[in-house]
Amino acid sequence: MFGTSHLAKLPRLAAIALLPLLLSACFSTGGEQSNPISFTDDRGYTDQPYPRNYKGEILAFMRTYLNNPAGVREAMMAEPVQRTVGGRLRYVSCLRYATREADGRYREPRDRAVVYVDARLDRVMENPGDACSGATYAAFPELEKLSR
């Protein structure tokens, strides 16, 4: 039925077949939230401190987050307010800005929500949903002055 050369290849073929399954388990987020990337250790505390250095943290993050940080227009920001994000009370600051495309044209301004945990920037939500509803925006010229 099977020669010895075919039997010797079975463990190797089984390992290759199971590799995608094992890797998918490593990258599973468990479906807890729509933005699973978190930069801080969120211990779930509800008495969050106000993020006093929020502007500086946003500028430092955006310098690396944007493909072309020098190509930002119509930048606006709302001061951090407490909102419920992922079932937890967090400080959230909302951003609105337009980025320049590779062809030189600008996109329509889009909203982002910056979430803070323990007064530090935790993550940026590209689809903020209700987190930015009713936000009061003010000009954020520092974001427009970023350079590479």
Do 111 and 134 meet the contact criterion of CB atoms below 8 Å apart? Answer: no
pLDDT reading at 11 higher than 60 = no
What pLDDT shows up at residue 127?
Answer: 92
What pLDDT shows up at residue 67?
Answer: 84
* pLDDT level of residue 26 (50, 70, 90 thresholds): very low
Residue 18 within a domain: no
Residue 60 within a domain: yes
Number of domains, the chain? 1
Residue 39 within a domain: no
How big is the CA angle at 54 (ends 49 and 55), to the nearest 5 degrees?
Answer: 160
- Please state which of the ranges 3-7, 38-42, 64-68, 86-90 shows the lowest mean pLDDT: 38-42
pLDDT reading at 114 higher than 50 = yes
Residue 129 within a domain: yes
- Please state which of the ranges 20-29, 84-93, 94-103, 130-139 shows the lowest mean pLDDT: 20-29
Residue 110 within a domain: yes
Residue 112 within a domain: yes
Distances (CA, A) of 18 to 22, 31, 137: 6, 23, 50
pLDDT reading at 4 higher than 80 = no
Find the mean pLDDT for residues 57-65.
Answer: 93
Range of the domain at 68: 54-144
DSSP string, the chain: ---HHHHHHHHHHHHHHHHHHHHHHHT--TT--S----SS-----SSPPP-TTHHHHHHHHHHHHSS-TT-EEEEEE---EEEEETTEEEEEEEEEEEEB-TTSPBPPPEEEEEEEETTEEEEEESS-GGGGTT---EE-HHHHT---
Find the mean pLDDT for residues 18-28.
Answer: 42
